[in-house]
Structure 1
């Protein structure tokens, strides 16, 4: 079995990887601003209505085939339930309990279930560099996690609830990530499949929102509306198109490294806009995550 040059070091992967990471690194502050007047469940619903409509327009402009069939609809529904309903509702709920920085840091653990599920269900081998890079990155995440726990103003019970919600979102996202690397996902045109999943996700979100929080609530504040547009267009339609494309090339384990860098980006933005102060612990954790990323992405994936 020969070793191919790692595709994860090519510009066609690194550029969209950087764009996705920068976009998702900014979402934590925006999500925090969404909480308040409008229940989180309805904010998630509005986000994916916007995202689904944008993706539908993109698919129609490209004239992509919408022939999903029963298998495609089932796949889109599963993606909707896991990624666009379960994952996002859990994350929004988590931000009611803990800081956006701690949510972002906890979500960085996505690389662990992604790597394990890809090994179990897709047969992806865990190379030595990937394991080494993951270990270094997890050590960095642990330092960031320790720092965030220390500065979090909430009590242990509240922090535990927030972390539990985040981990629930991580598991849902990981299951969806592995699905996107299957032959079934590659058998459909990406834009129509993603548009359908997002619109179904919005419908599931709305049903959940109505059940838990009653009729729709909307806040006609400029910041809230702009946040919905940004999260729907850039953080969902654009970012997931790029991310799922990356995932299908380099696999779920490496693609999940975006979640490792995201908290570092979130903290850098928090430094600029929220007065976040770096400690030696946080700086060391950020440095380690970067080193781990470089090691892991340089892994050569065996060819069959």
Structure 2
């Protein structure tokens, strides 16, 4: 990798590895749907500003708007409402590790709807990863406290993964190639922000806001860095390295997230939890590792 690629890879890993704990500190006096709305209003505007700065198109064809609306509904409404609410019940590191296995439903849905083949190596890695996350879930269920709350938190994580996976497969469909990628993402974020605002109005009434610096700095960080900048950098990484190589960020992100959760949330590392995390990360490495290529002339 050249120095630019290394910096982009490190930036994406650092940003997305820290989002989980920042989300935790968004929870409190403000309804999660308002927080999600603020995040993607900020992210969508920032992404369109990025496009303007780079001289890229700001508009998308009108015929693409229904597709972008459905994509935004799964990615920026359902996914993030499930994720934010899950962290009311479980430590932030657990969703981070579970979401690293997003590649598993992605591969299954891409096989079912796009006809993409699943390799034996990927299937083996997926099985190891699922077993590892299962051990982490078992560890969380074994802790003292309200088991019903824990089950709810873990169920919300699964729902978030499935929502995000549907959106990911939509992005990989031929229809997604008919409009500018970053502009489309920006408009999908803005539409998602609008739906989240309507949802928040229905659930909790008038807009809520926490003036504490930790809150508004948090949603600015999540909107500008985690939503706009990180997505733009990640798409550029895919163009430079390829999707398989860029996906290696998903191995490093949960390691960072779990380390932060250990320091700031007091996550308890039992042998069961450590085994689960190790097995999940091993599964990701196996699934993402490309088969070795024969040397020239061999």
- Per the normalisation by structure 2, the TM-score is 0.86
Pick closer, same or farther for the CA change 1:50–1:179 going to 2, 3 Å.
Answer: same
Report the alpha carbon displacement of residue 135 of structure 1 after superposing the two structures with TM. 1.9
Aligned length: 290
Report the alpha carbon displacement of residue 244 of structure 1 after superposing the two structures with TM. 5.1
Q: Does 1:20 align with 2:12?
A: yes
Alignment partner, residue 85 of structure 1: 77
Alignment partner, residue 54 of structure 2: 62
Q: What is the Cα-based RMSD across aligned positions, in Å? A: 2.8
User: Aligned equivalents of 1:67 and 1:270: distance in 2?
Assistant: 40
Alignment partner, residue 286 of structure 1: 277
Report the alpha carbon displacement of residue 109 of structure 1 after superposing the two structures with TM. 4.3
Report the alpha carbon displacement of residue 115 of structure 1 after superposing the two structures with TM. 1.3
Q: Does 1:132 align with 2:133?
A: no
Note if contact 1:40-1:92 (Cα within 8 Å) is conserved in structure 2: yes
Q: 2:152 aligns with which of 161, 171, 179?
A: 161
Alignment partner, residue 227 of structure 1: 218
Alignment partner, residue 296 of structure 2: none
Range with greater deviation from structure 2 (79-88 or 259-268):
259-268
Report the alpha carbon displacement of residue 292 of structure 1 after superposing the two structures with TM. 2.2
Pick closer, same or farther for the CA change 1:265–1:118 going to 2, 3 Å.
Answer: same
User: Aligned equivalents of 1:213 and 1:131: distance in 2?
Assistant: 43
Report the alpha carbon displacement of residue 232 of structure 1 after superposing the two structures with TM. 0.7
Range with greater deviation from structure 2 (166-175 or 98-107):
98-107
User: Aligned equivalents of 1:15 and 1:175: distance in 2?
Assistant: 30
Alignment partner, residue 243 of structure 2: 250
Pick closer, same or farther for the CA change 1:75–1:244 going to 2, 3 Å.
Answer: farther
Report the alpha carbon displacement of residue 57 of structure 1 after superposing the two structures with TM. 0.5
Q: 2:99 aligns with which of 107, 111, 124?
A: 107
Note if contact 1:137-1:260 (Cα within 8 Å) is conserved in structure 2: no
User: Aligned equivalents of 1:113 and 1:11: distance in 2?
Assistant: 33
Gaps of 5+ in 2: 293-298
Note if contact 1:180-1:247 (Cα within 8 Å) is conserved in structure 2: no
Report the alpha carbon displacement of residue 237 of structure 1 after superposing the two structures with TM. 0.9
Pick closer, same or farther for the CA change 1:245–1:169 going to 2, 3 Å.
Answer: farther
Q: Deviations over 1:38-85 (max 9, x none)?
A: 111101111111101110110111221234212321222122111011
Report the alpha carbon displacement of residue 128 of structure 1 after superposing the two structures with TM. 1.4
Range with greater deviation from structure 2 (280-289 or 38-47):
280-289
3-state SS, counterpart of residue 37 of structure 1? coil
